Amino acid sequence: MIDGKKVLFSGMQATGTLTLGNYLGALKNWVTLSEEYECFYSVVDLHSITVRQEPAELRKRARNLLTLYLAAGLDPQKNCIYYQSHVSGHAELSWILNCFTYMGELNRMTQFKDKAAKHADNINAGLFTYPVLMAADILLYQTDMVPVGVDQMQHLEITRDIAQRFNAVYGDVFTIPEAYIGKSGAKIMSLQNPQKKMSKSDENPNASIYLMDEPDVILRKFKRAVTDSEGQILYREEQPGIRNLLDIYCACTGKSPEEAVKEFEGKGYGELKEAVGETVVSVLKPVQDEFARLSEDKSYLDSIIKENAQKANYYATKTLRKVQKKVGFPERIR
């Protein structure tokens, strides 16, 4: 609890170009959540170097992502928006938690298996202990809630296990975090293969809407979206392409699938695609404009980065000192 509010933590990696899926599935909800919770939203650059990065590129992307957090509407006075690498407590707590995590547990992580297969030439120890760093992120702020997608649920589970194990030895040190499953929980699928999640690393550029796509590009991609030959606009499993378009439409407008289906009754797929495309443009345009404006304002951004890192450090250090004391490190002489 901070100032009577529950604490919420989440982070994103600055790898790849963010998609509409990232926006509707996460960022947009983050803004809503920031009304109710004390939120920490991190650009998790320590996680990014578990796969090789070009340094200048990583720095640029990290700044763009942080700018995008703000452009999406997160108020940096109310939310703590910062780079993970600016708070050394993440790495320090991660080390300690490494000593409370079993090899066997980490071996079961499906994301590690996937990534190890994908980066067979660089299966480094950081990739293996990635979930421990994520646990440190979360536990460092005594987090109550973590909004995560299904792909990160296993990491949240291991975080809870580590926290409970630690607490069982040393008393109530960590808050045990819970998953926050958003009510709309929009899972946006690829426009080219609606069985697959929309991904920032898809080879097919028509599969994903990128947050910075120009309006005409967005409209064109929707025009090319894969549908089916049923010819009717219904919200059901047998029509994953149409359902995905309706999901996107609903996530943008706040309407329910039933309302959307009614609205498009008797209309053709072409009309649906156009309407969804235009809705997406109208949602992304203000974010894009604000991103452009903020990007120009270097001194403002820098001041946000500095102040928020200080705030994050304050809370992180509080937890870290407690943990260090519990495990038996010598007291600091001040």
Is there a catalytic annotation at residue 322? no
- Selected range binding ligand TRP among 131-139, 243-251, 304-312, 316-324, rule: CB under 6 A: 131-139
- Cα of 97 vs its chain's centroid, Å: 22
Strands 7-12 and 80-83: unpaired
DSSP SS3 for 27 = helix
Is there a catalytic annotation at residue 306? no
- Selected range binding ligand TRP among 3-11, 190-198, 241-249, 261-269, rule: CB under 6 A: 3-11
Q: Does residue 129 bind ligand TRP (CB under 6 A)?
A: no
Q: Does residue 134 bind ligand TRP (CB under 6 A)?
A: yes
Which position's Cβ is nearest ligand TRP?
Answer: 11
Is there a catalytic annotation at residue 197? yes
CA-closest candidate to residue 89, choices 37, 146, 157, 42: 42
Element of type H or E holding 123: none
CB 39 within 8 A of CB 312: no
CB 50 within 8 A of CB 129: no
Shortest Cβ 37–ligand TRP spacing (Å): 13
Q: Does residue 316 bind ligand TRP (CB under 6 A)?
A: no
Distances (CA, A) of 287 to 61, 205, 215, 254, 284: 17, 21, 12, 17, 5
Which residues 143-182 are close enough to bind ligand TRP by CB under 6 A? 146, 148, 152
DSSP SS3 for 54 = coil
Shortest Cβ 14–ligand TRP spacing (Å): 11
- Selected range binding ligand TRP among 64-72, 134-142, 194-202, 271-279, rule: CB under 6 A: 134-142
Q: Does residue 22 bind ligand TRP (CB under 6 A)?
A: no
The contact pattern for ligand TRP, residues 62-91, with x = CB under 6 A and - = no contact, is: ------------------------------
- Selected range binding ligand TRP among 116-124, 130-138, 178-186, 236-244, rule: CB under 6 A: 130-138
At 185, give phi and psi (nearest 5°): 40, 45
Q: Which one of 38, 43, 47, 144 is in contact with ligand TRP (CB under 6 A)?
A: 47
The b-or-e profile of 265-276 (16+ CB within 10 A means b, else e) is: eeeebeebbebb
Write out the two tokens for 187: 């899972």
Binding footprint of ligand TRP on the chain (CB under 6 A): 9-13, 44, 47, 134, 137-138, 146, 148, 152
